[in-house]
Structure formats: structure tokens, C-alpha cells
């Protein structure tokens, strides 16, 4: 069974930004990296089979060097394909690999991976072993506290201990069970009740394991409270919809004495990156669809977001306009 050794402290990430489909692309990750130099970032989930069969592997694997530390999340159920995926992830320069056993999407579960795999711990163990044995990266797993009616604490504890014996380095536990029939993915993020006590109990009974909690955290103070009981906290939709709410991660979570950044600070720091993206044929909306979430709760925030959105969608936004709009934010103290 994996244990916490002094030299494994690098594998303990106090706070991470969850992998979210259609959200955590490399542009959003760059925004979050400007907010925090320490938080662990994740790729969107990559289906290992798709990666294995495509000729355009860079489309799935590319990230910016500034994004480290970064974890790549794989979904899949074929140990042989995951073996190749692990090698690619290491060769591409990722810092760790995460295996998804928590996604409740019908499309994902119909492929016999995601949350449905929790019902087959033997297969999960083989997948973890395949990832672990074919790279030198930490291999972690993200899962729910249960699936459908298979939601007893005894089953959860047995699952975690079994997968730990297969070599998993860290467990990211979404503190809700997944309901695969009757709820869509969005409902699965809100309707099954959060059960933080289950994750805390899991950690208490397995102090030698790295247990991270996920689900419903809305601010840094809630995260700090959770860190009294578990090793790490994963933030999802709150970080995506309200990124500036997390502008003090480095100071409050990691104890780093650094200036808190404003929305204008972050946007100005991203200008060279945006210029590079546009000069390489990229679209401004690729970045601005994430960028607009930085500006909220201030006078005329909606007007600012609408202007940036409209010009981006119409392909009329240039750096000059973005600089002018951001200077207005700065002049207002934001």
C-alpha cells in the first residue's frame, strides 16, 4: 500500500483546479496560472483510446510551459492503451497522470469508463498498474464516494485500499455519489448531497494515504477549513466562474508573501500570450470566453464583458482595444 514518505511531499498538492470538459483548456489554465503560481492545474479529460488512434496528438496533449505543475487526466478502460498513454504523457512533459473514475456522463459510462468503473475495482486496479508501470510520474485517481446504490462506506473504503495496493499515489474524492440513471452530468454535480464527512472518515481511517476532497467549495476559507482534515482540496466550477475569488491562493494556502492581483493585473500580464495566440492564427474568443469571468462585482462589469464578448465573437477584437478596455478597469482600481 502506498504510504506518505518525507520525499513524497512534492506529490501533496494542497489546492488544485479540477479538470472540466470545455473549460480547462490551455487558455483557461494560463489565466489560473497568473492567479496562482502554486495550484495544481489539470487538462480536460482525454479519452485514451482517442489519443491512441489520432494522428494529431498535439491537439490533445499540448500545453504551455508556464502551466507547470500540470496533471493530465485520462479516461479509459484498456490497460494496453493506457500503457501507451502513460508513455506519451511523460514524454510530453506532464508532471503527473490522473485516472478518471468519477465522470457520470452517459457517453463516458457507455464506454465502460468514468464513474461506472467504480463498480469494477479489479479493472480499475489493472488500469492504475498499467499507468504506474509504464512511466515515472505520480499516478492519481479521481472518483466518487459511490455509484447508484453501491454507496456504502465499507465499499468505498475497500475500493480505496484495493486501488492503493495497485499503486495509486493520491485519491481525489468527489464527496457526492454518482447516479448514472436518471441524472445528467450537470445534475450529478448538484443533486446528490455533498457528504464531506465520508471523505474525512476515509482519511481518518487511512492516515497513510493521500486523500484530497472535491465538491462544492466556494472560497479559500472553506478550503482552509477542509485542509484540517484532508491533504488537499480540488476546486471546480467556482474557480472557472469566479476566478478572481481565488486570487489569494498563494498567500493563504501556500503562505507565500506576494501581492494580490487585480483583474487588470492579470489581463495585462496575459497580453503577450494573447498576442502570440493571435499571431499564430488563433481566435480572440478562444481566450476571451474565459477572460470575461475575471470581471464581476464591479460597476459596469456586465458592459465590459459584453463589449469584449461581442467583439471577440465578431472577430473584431484586437490588442489595442483590449488594452484600452483593461486600462479603464485599472483606472477604477480593478
Q: What is the pLDDT of residues 243-269, one digit of tens each?
A: 999 999 999 999 999 988 999 999 999
**Following DSSP, what letter does each residue of 129-185 receive, concatenated?**
HHHHHT-SS-EEEEEES-BTTB--HHHHHHHHHHHHHTT--EEEEESS-B--SS--H
Which run of H or E residues covers position 325?
helix 319-331
CB atoms under 10 Å from CB of 62, counted, come to 10
- The CATH code of the domain at 263-331 is 1.20.120
pTM: 0.93
**3-state percent breakdown (helix, strand, coil) of the chain, nearest 5:** 50, 15, 35
CATH superfamily of 6-252: Aldolase class I (3.20.20.70)
Q: Which three cell numbers stand for residue 253?
A: 494556502
Model confidence over 182-226: pLDDT tens digits?
Answer: 788 888 888 889 999 999 999 999 999 999 999 999 999 999 999
Taking only the tens of pLDDT, the chain with its 334 residues reads 444 443 444 456 899 999 999 999 999 999 999 999 999 999 999 999 989 888 888 889 999 999 999 999 999 999 999 999 999 999 999 999 999 998 776 655 445 677 889 999 999 999 999 999 999 999 999 999 999 888 899 999 999 999 999 999 999 999 999 888 878 888 888 888 999 999 999 999 999 999 999 999 999 999 999 999 999 999 999 999 999 999 999 999 999 999 889 999 999 999 999 999 999 999 999 999 999 999 999 999 999 999 999 999 999 999 999 999 999 999 999 9
Within the chain, all domains assigned CATH 3.20.20.70 are found at 6-252
How does strand 15-17 pair with strand 46-47?
A: unpaired
Active site amino acids? 103
Which phi and psi (to 5°) does residue 82 adopt? -65, -30
Task: Determine how β-strand 70-75 pairs with β-strand 139-144.
Answer: unpaired
Single out the residue of 109, 35, 32, 48 nearest to residue 83, CA to CA: 48
Which segments of the chain belong to CATH 1.20.120? 263-331
Amino acid at each position: 500500500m502506498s504510504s506518505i514518505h518525507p520525499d513524497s511531499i512534492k506529490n501533496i498538492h494542497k489546492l488544485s483546479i479540477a479538470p472540466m470538459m470545455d473549460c480547462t483548456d490551455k487558455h483557461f489554465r494560463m489565466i489560473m496560472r497568473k492567479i496562482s503560481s502554486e495550484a495544481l492545474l489539470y487538462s480536460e479529460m482525454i479519452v485514451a483510446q482517442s489519443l491512441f488512434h489520432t494522428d494529431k496528438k498535439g491537439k490533445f496533449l499540448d500545453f504551455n510551459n508556464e502551466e507547470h505543475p500540470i496533471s493530465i487526466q485520462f479516461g479509459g478502460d484498456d490497460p494496453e492503451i493506457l500503457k501507451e498513454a502513460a508513455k506519451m504523457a511523460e514524454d510530453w512533459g506532464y508532471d503527473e497522470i490522473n485516472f478518471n473514475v468519477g465522470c457520470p456522463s452517459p457517453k463516458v459510462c457507455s464506454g465502460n469508463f468514468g464513474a461506472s468503473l467504480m463498480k469494477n475495482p479489479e479493472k480499475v486496479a489493472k488500469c492504475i498498474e498499467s499507468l504506474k508501470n509504464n512511466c515515472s510520474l505520480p499516478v492519481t485517481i479521481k472518483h466518487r464516494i459511490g455509484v447508484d446504490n453501491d454507496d456504502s462506506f465499507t465499499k468505498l473504503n475497500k475500493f480505496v485500499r484495493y486501488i492503493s495496493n495497485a499503486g495509486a499515489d493520491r485519491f481525489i474524492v468527489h464527496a457526492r455519489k454518482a447516479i448514472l440513471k436518471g441524472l445528467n452530468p450537470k445534475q450529478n454535480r448538484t443533486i446528490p448531497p455533498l457528504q464531506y464527512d465520508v471523505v474525512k472518515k476515509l482519511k481518518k481511517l487511512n492516515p497513510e494515504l493521500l486523500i484530497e476532497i472535491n465538491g462544492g467549495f466556494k472560497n479559500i476559507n472553506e478550503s482552509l477549513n477542509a485542509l484540517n482534515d484532508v491533504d488537499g482540496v480540488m476546486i471546480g466550477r467556482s474557480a472557472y466562474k469566479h476566478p478572481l475569488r481565488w486570487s489569494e491562493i498563494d498567500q493563504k494556502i501556500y503562505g507565500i508573501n506576494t501581492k494580490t492581483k487585480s483583474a487588470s493585473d492579470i489581463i495585462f500580464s496575459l497580453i503577450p500570450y494573447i498576442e502570440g495566440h493571435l499571431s499564430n492564427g488563433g481566435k480572440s474568443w478562444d481566450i476571451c470566453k474565459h477572460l470575461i469571468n475575471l470581471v464581476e462585482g464591479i460597476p459596469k462589469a456586465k458592459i465590459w464583458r459584453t463589449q469584449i464578448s461581442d467583439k471577440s465573437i465578431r472577430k473584431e477584437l484586437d490588442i489595442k482595444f483590449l488594452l484600452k478596455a483593461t486600462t479603464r478597469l485599472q483606472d477604477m482600481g480593478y
